[in-house]
Structure 1
Amino acid sequence: MAVRTAPDTVAAGRGTKLAIRDAAVKLFGAKGFEQTSLREVADAVGITKASLYYHYASKIDLLHAIIDPIIDHMRSVVGDLDQVPRDADGIRDVLRSYLRGMVHHRDAGALVLRDTVAIVNAMADRHPDLVDDDQTLREWLAGPDATDEAKLRASAALAMLGVALMSKEFAPGADDALVESTLLDAATCVLTAGGTA
């Protein structure tokens, strides 16, 4: 017989899990992943360390909860490429979709900026897929029979969109709409300046 949990308890559990993740993003970003203890994260949320372990079995699991949604979003954009026409509107839609995932997760930007080594080590099992997805997206943006210039422009456009993750560091007062419109226009210009799109 299954044990039933009251809806308020389930909602509170989800709220606690999100609060733990949000506190970890702030602390990892400010102090660094290695320098932040799970005790500090638990204290920031106002729970015991045992309660934190109920939601996240380890610090690496907590890091995965922060980084996995970014990677999953990128994979979903690449997974849908076959359904998008490769014309100016389609390219802009793909760039916008990719960018929106970055903007949505830009709270993790300080962590990405400061703890690249910790993130790469923690994500070693997903790294090959991430590299493959990035390559697929760059090739799609560059187009069939792409010149070296088109390949460079596609890579530069994606690099520009990646700035969204660090935008809270570079432009803390910029809201999501400004980040999206500025970086989308910049990436589109990079692609179209050479007639690639």
Structure 2
Amino acid sequence: MARGNTRQRIQDVALELFAEQGYEKTSLREIAERLEVTKAALYYHFKTKEDILISLFQDLTRPMDELIAWGQGQQPGLETKQEVLSRYSQALADAAPLFRFMQENQATVRELSIGDSFKERVHALIELMQVPDASLKDQVRCVSALVTLHAGSFHLWNVDGDPEDKRKAVLEVAVDLVRQAHGVTP
């Protein structure tokens, strides 16, 4: 993620340090040192580590918000669900460092209420995936499609292979689940 402006550079370096040594063990001083700026320069953009993390979360989850708004404006159906899965798969891939941080630092995420905000987004996506009057099995298939995207993006990090190939394989499995829920066999 090679982003250019100072605010984005601060976010990127902070996320790197949070991943390397944990959120609690990372100080603003260390972030400033890695950036080769003064602490005062860092304070100009962010007063606390929490401010950095919250800004990261807001910036990197914006595609989820856009996807939810888009999906809510569409006619429910198989094509819409497939497109939601495709776009969400890409959003997860684009924000992989943040989602990895969230997975590995669940206590911090809960403390900062980022977790609640993320859960609200996931519930909105689940609503987009529901099939009215579907059997319980088909409802499970639709919810499982989202869970598949999450599990795939979190648990395939250490599996050998091209990240894009892994993303596409996970997406294909998720789409198959939704197609089955709509009576289309893979």
* C-alpha contact (below 8 Å) 1:102/1:165 kept by paired residues: yes
* C-alpha contact (below 8 Å) 1:150/1:194 kept by paired residues: yes
Who is 1:180 aligned against? 167
* C-alpha contact (below 8 Å) 1:23/1:44 kept by paired residues: yes
Superposition deviation, residue 55 in structure 1? 1.0
Q: Percent identity?
A: 22
* C-alpha contact (below 8 Å) 1:109/1:167 kept by paired residues: no
Q: Give, as a single letter, the amino acid of the residue that structure 1 aligns with 2:169.
A: T
Q: How does 1:1-197 map to 2 (within 5 A)?
A: 15-123=5-113, 127=116, 130-163=118-151, 165-166=153-154, 169-171=157-159, 174-175=162-163, 177-195=164-182
Alignment size in residue pairs: 181
Higher relative contact order (CA 8 A, sep 6+): 1
Superposition deviation, residue 173 in structure 1? 5.2
Closer, same or farther: CA 179–188 of 1 in aligned 2, 3 Å? same
Closer, same or farther: CA 23–191 of 1 in aligned 2, 3 Å? same
Please report the RMSD computed on the Cα atoms of aligned residues, expressed in angstroms: 2.4
Q: Give, as a single letter, the amino acid of the residue that structure 2 aligns with 1:174.
A: D
TM-score (norm 1): 0.79
* Structure exhibiting the larger radius of gyration computed from Cα positions: 1
* C-alpha contact (below 8 Å) 1:109/1:169 kept by paired residues: no
* C-alpha contact (below 8 Å) 2:29/2:39 kept by paired residues: yes
Per-residue CA deviation, residues 154-187 of structure 1 (Å, 9 max, x unaligned), is 2211112124653673347533x32431221011
For structure 1, which runs of at least 5 residues remain unmatched after alignment? 1-13
TM-score (norm 2): 0.83
In the alignment, the residues of structure 1 paired with residue 81 and residue 69 of structure 2 have an alpha-carbon distance, to the nearest angstrom, of 15
* C-alpha contact (below 8 Å) 1:56/1:62 kept by paired residues: yes
For structure 2, which runs of at least 5 residues remain unmatched after alignment? none
In the alignment, the residues of structure 2 paired with residue 44 and residue 112 of structure 1 have an alpha-carbon distance, to the nearest angstrom, of 22
In the alignment, the residues of structure 2 paired with residue 21 and residue 71 of structure 1 have an alpha-carbon distance, to the nearest angstrom, of 14
